């Protein structure tokens, strides 16, 4: 028996590309969504907000409450306040509400730290983390290898993640665990806030099929409307619908996707979106200024932060963007694309200073904030292979 097992193991090690049917492990994907993210950060920063209705606003900057609700805490939600609604309407729904302006750069920094925690739990495949951030407060983490395909172990991983985020950031999140991204994503919103839900393959249909088609991740209002016209109400109805008829209404790709998604099938990998990731830092100058020395000092510090983040992940960049916000709160950006990937601090400093020089030659209004951001990131080619050339 032992012999057979070790023969199997050695076959598996030597032929990793053998058809999945022989050695495939049950996939386990975890999805994390932070709870009332922007408002939760504000609550954490100011304990006096505890117990009050809190709304974070994208203020238009014109007068008083002229913006829209970016998000709100659960107390505010009890009065019917929702993201996207005018702040003036939110005020009418609950006059006691505390309104705060959104501080997106700050939330992005908190998000970056959370993403680093999540990434550390991901499987590593071909030297890449099986990790995918999909928005400022959401990410997928593939944990197939780390759990050996075991959903009980996956539940423990989910709890560990929640605890680590709570301990390090004093924030709660909701976790969904499933056999693929589609199910994990739909599962994380089942228990919110501070929840964790596991849908293992044996529970997949009883979870998915009673839901309305509009709940299927990837179906928008237009598709939901068309499906309704076709008499398709639940996801079960969709799963049982003739695929040829779906294709004739929605086209081949979409028709097949609908049929498969309704059966809970999703083979898309958890993968950093190629080129989509950026690393950036932004900060406020000690005073509004056009003094190149003062601005360079801050920009150099931000550059160092960016480089140390690139170093820790072994990444290079090809694109550099410098942002300035002037004392009238107008924002300007300029970018450069290098003709080869780079990762040295000197190159990044040189490019950011060059762009800064251009900004300074064009502006008469003092700068208030500056930022630097790198994009088109990729894994560095190791030193050895560079020497080989």
Q: Beta strands of 54-209 (E only): which ranges?
A: 54-58, 68-72, 98-101, 124-125, 128-129, 131-135, 138-142, 173-178, 196-198
Query: Distance between CA atoms of 191 and 166, rounded to whole angstroms?
Result: 17
Q: Give the residue, chosen from 28, 29, 33, 324, that forms a contact with ligand DCP under the rule CB under 6 A.
A: 33
Task: Rank residues 36 and 359 by Cβ distance to ligand DCP and give the closer one.
Answer: 36
The DSSP call for residue 26 is P
User: Of Ca ion, ligand DCP, none, which one sits near residue 94, judging by CB under 5 to 8 A according to partner kind?
Assistant: none
Least distance to ligand DCP, CB of residue 90, Å: 13
Query: Distance between CA atoms of 209 and 297, rounded to whole angstroms?
Result: 58
Q: Beta strands of 103-193 (E only): which ranges?
A: 124-125, 128-129, 131-135, 138-142, 173-178
Least distance to Ca ion, CB of residue 36, Å: 7
Q: In terms of Cα–Cα distance, which of 61, 156, 168 is closest to 112? A: 168
Q: For residue 124, give every residue at least 6 positions away whose Cβ sits within 8 Å of its Cβ, in sequence order, or none.
A: 130
Q: Does residue 29 sit in helix, strand or coil?
A: strand
Q: Give the residue, chosen from 27, 28, 37, 97, that forms a contact with ligand DCP under the rule CB under 6 A.
A: 37
Least distance to ligand DCP, CB of residue 125, Å: 27
Task: Rank residues 35 and 132 by Cβ distance to ligand DCP and give the closer one.
Answer: 35
User: Of ligand DCP, Ca ion, none, which one sits near residue 203, judging by CB under 5 to 8 A according to partner kind?
Assistant: none
Least distance to Ca ion, CB of residue 174, Å: 8
Residue with tokens 């004093």: 170
Task: Rank residues 28 and 34 by Cβ distance to Ca ion and give the closer one.
Answer: 34
Task: Rank residues 137 and 142 by Cβ distance to Ca ion and give the closer one.
Answer: 137
Task: Rank residues 36 and 121 by Cβ distance to ligand DCP and give the closer one.
Answer: 36
Fill in the per-residue mask, 84 to 103: x = in contact with ligand DCP (CB under 6 A), - = not in contact.
x-------------------
Cβ neighbours, 10 Å, residue 21: 6
Contact between 81 and ligand DCP by CB under 6 A: the answer reads: no
Least distance to ligand DCP, CB of residue 68, Å: 8
Least distance to Ca ion, CB of residue 267, Å: 23
Contact between 38 and ligand DCP by CB under 6 A: the answer reads: yes
Written as six digits, the tokens of 181 are 């991204």
Q: Beta strands of 327-364 (E only): which ranges?
A: 331-342
Contact between 35 and ligand DCP by CB under 6 A: the answer reads: yes
Catalytic residue among 132, 138, 142, 169: 138
If you write DSSP's letter for every residue of 250-319 in order, what string do you get? H-HHHHHHHHHHHTT-------PPTTT--EEEEEEEEEEE--HHHHHHHHHHHHHHHHHHHHHHTEEEEE
Task: Rank residues 102 and 372 by Cβ distance to Ca ion and give the closer one.
Answer: 102
Say how many residues make up the chain: 389
Contact between 136 and ligand DCP by CB under 6 A: the answer reads: yes
Query: Distance between CA atoms of 24 and 175, rounded to whole angstroms?
Result: 25
Q: Which residues make up the interface to Ca ion (CB under 5 A)?
A: 33-34, 37, 137-138
Contact between 70 and ligand DCP by CB under 6 A: the answer reads: yes
- 138 among known catalytic residues: yes
Stretch that binds ligand DCP, among 27-35, 214-222, 268-276, 370-378 (CB under 6 A): 27-35
If you write DSSP's letter for every residue of 13-25 in order, what string do you get? HH-TTS-HHHHPP
Which residues in this chain contact ligand DCP in the complex, by CB under 6 A? 33-38, 70-71, 83-84, 136-137, 192-193
Return the active site residues: 138
């Amino acid at each position: 028996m032992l012999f057979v097992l070790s023969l199997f193991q050695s076959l598996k090690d030597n032929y990793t590309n053998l058809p999945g049917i022989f050695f495939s492990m049950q996939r386990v994907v975890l999805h994390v969504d932070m709870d009332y993210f922007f408002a939760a950060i504000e609550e954490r920063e100011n304990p006096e907000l505890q117990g009050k209705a809190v709304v974070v606003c994208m203020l238009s900057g014109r007068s008083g409450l002229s913006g829209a609700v970016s998000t709100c805490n659960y107390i505010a939600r009890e009065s019917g306040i929702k993201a996207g609604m005018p702040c003036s309407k939110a005020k009418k729904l609950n006059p006691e509400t505390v309104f705060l302006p959104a501080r997106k750069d700050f939330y992005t920094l908190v998000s970056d730290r959370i993403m680093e925690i999540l990434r550390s739990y991901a499987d590593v495949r071909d030297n890449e983390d099986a990790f995918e951030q999909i928005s400022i407060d959401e990410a997928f983490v593939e944990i197939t290898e780390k759990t050996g395909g075991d959903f009980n172990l996956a539940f423990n991983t989910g709890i560990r993640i929640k605890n680590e985020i709570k301990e390090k950031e004093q924030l709660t999140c909701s976790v969904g665990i499933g056999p693929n991204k589609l199910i994990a994503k739909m599962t994380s919103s089942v228990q919110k806030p501070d929840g964790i839900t596991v849908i293992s393959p044996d529970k997949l249909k009883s979870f998915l099929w009673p839901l309305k088609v509009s709940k299927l991740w990837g179906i928008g209002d237009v598709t939901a409307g068309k499906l309704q016209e076709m008499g398709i109400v639940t996801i079960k109805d969709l799963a049982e619908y003739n695929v040829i008829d779906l294709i004739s209404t929605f086209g081949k790709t979409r028709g097949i996707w609908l049929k498969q998604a309704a059966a809970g099938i999703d083979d898309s990998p958890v993968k950093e979106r190629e080129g989509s990731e950026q690393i950036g830092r932004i900060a406020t100058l000690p005073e509004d200024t056009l003094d190149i020395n003062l601005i360079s000092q801050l920009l150099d510090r931000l550059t160092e932060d960016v480089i140390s983040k690139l170093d820790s992940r072994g990444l290079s960049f090809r694109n550099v963007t410098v942002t300035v916000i002037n004392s009238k709160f107008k924002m300007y950006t300029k970018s450069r694309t290098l003709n080869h990937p780079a990762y040295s601090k000197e190159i990044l400093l040189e490019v950011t200073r060059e762009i800064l020089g251009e900004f300074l030659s064009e502006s008469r209004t003092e700068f208030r904030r500056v930022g630097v951001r790198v994009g088109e990131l990729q894994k560095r080619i190791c030193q050895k292979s560079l020497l080989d050339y």
